[in-house]
Amino acid sequence: MADTPERILTAEAVVRQVAFTADGASLMGVCQDGQVRFWDAQTGTLQRTIPWSKDDLRGLTLSPDRKLLAASGPEKVIKVWELKSGEMRHRLPALSVAPGELAISPDGKTLASNAEAENSIRLWDLATGTQRQVLPDGLGNSGLLFSPDSSLLVGANTDTVIRVWHTGTGKQVAAIEELPVAMFALVFSPDGRFFGAAGADRTIHVFETGGWKKVAALNGQPEMITALALAPQGRVLVAGGFDDVTVKNPVKVLVWDVPSRSVLRTLPARHRVQSVAISPDARWVAVADAEKTVHIWAAAPKA
């Protein structure tokens, strides 16, 4: 059947973030119960589970190299774990409010954190566990992402402005003010030349990162977008989200062919897509929903 996923992976908790391992053989799910689960991407069987946190998790991010996890809870602390050993590497205190949004740079050197009530972004040195910079931010941060070369940090806000900082100097280098509503999901092309943002207007807005000018808008998503993933070659893009009124409504996940700006496939999801991922070979799409499951689909419809 066209609308049946290739594999259904089940967890005992909501899967907050999904990622394929670098070899594409396994799918990892960072779960709300403080465990990371690894499944065989081909068979869907659970391979192993790494327990790492007993906290009530709020902010959560997996480093792009999948080696580190950072999380925040209701306390004014960020904890950073090494995934291989399951050991806590840093406990970053001295925050005035509990942080929400978190991001780790691709080079693994920097953690960015934001808290709703703080209107600033903090940059932390992950080698020493010390605070490096405080960047003045807008109202209501709704997303943080580092560029592929780790030189830039992008912060989206519910005041509808997207700000871009140079991570070395801490200087703001650009601000995108043309978007009418808030963006919740951010993505960079692998070469860093393009940046995509999607959110409440159900559109993926694409900007070139030389002058931060808009070059495309991908329309067609029926619900607001909260999760984006781009394949390593930059050709396949996946977007998912949830209905802004009734989060229990079924939703659609769209798989885009980036060069032609056309939809390759529309996948059904039960409700509230937490996270999406694409395999390194761009053949498989993983969708984590609020039902404690991950569905794996073929990215392209069968011929």
Tell the smallest beta-carbon distance from residue 48 to another protein (Å). 34
Query: DSSP letters of 32-60?
Result: TTSEEEEEETTT--EEEEEE---S---SE
Tell the smallest beta-carbon distance from residue 147 to another protein (Å). 24
* Separation between Cα atoms, residue 105 and residue 225, nearest integer Å: 23
Tell the smallest beta-carbon distance from residue 299 to another protein (Å). 29
The residue (of 184 and 195) whose beta carbon lies closer to another protein is 184
Parallel/antiparallel/unpaired status of strands 130-136 and 141-146: unpaired
Tell the smallest beta-carbon distance from residue 115 to another protein (Å). 11
The residue (of 82 and 243) whose beta carbon lies closer to another protein is 243
Residues near another protein (CB under 8 A) are 116-117, 139-140, 142, 158-160, 180-182, 184, 199-202, 224, 244-248
The owner of tokens 């079924």 is 250
The residue (of 217 and 247) whose beta carbon lies closer to another protein is 247
Tell the smallest beta-carbon distance from residue 52 to another protein (Å). 25
The residue (of 138 and 196) whose beta carbon lies closer to another protein is 138
Output 123-128 pairs: Cβ under 8 A, ≥24 positions apart.
123/153, 123/167, 123/170, 124/78, 124/90, 124/92, 126/68, 126/80, 126/89, 126/90
Query: Do the Cβ atoms of 214 and 205 come closer than 8 Å?
Result: yes
Q: Which amino acid is at 14?
A: V
Tokens at 7, concatenated = 């594999």
* Separation between Cα atoms, residue 26 and residue 289, nearest integer Å: 18
The residue (of 132 and 271) whose beta carbon lies closer to another protein is 271
Tell the smallest beta-carbon distance from residue 75 to another protein (Å). 15
Length of the chain: 303
The residue (of 63 and 203) whose beta carbon lies closer to another protein is 203
Tokens at 184, concatenated = 């919740």
The residue (of 84 and 248) whose beta carbon lies closer to another protein is 248
Tell the smallest beta-carbon distance from residue 199 to another protein (Å). 8
Query: What residues does 73 pair with on adjacent strands?
Result: none
* Separation between Cα atoms, residue 176 and residue 277, nearest integer Å: 26
The residue (of 116 and 257) whose beta carbon lies closer to another protein is 116
List all residues 6 or more positions away from 231 whose beta carbon is below 8 Å from its beta carbon: 237, 278, 279, 280, 282, 299
CA 296 to chain centre: 17
Tell the smallest beta-carbon distance from residue 59 to another protein (Å). 15
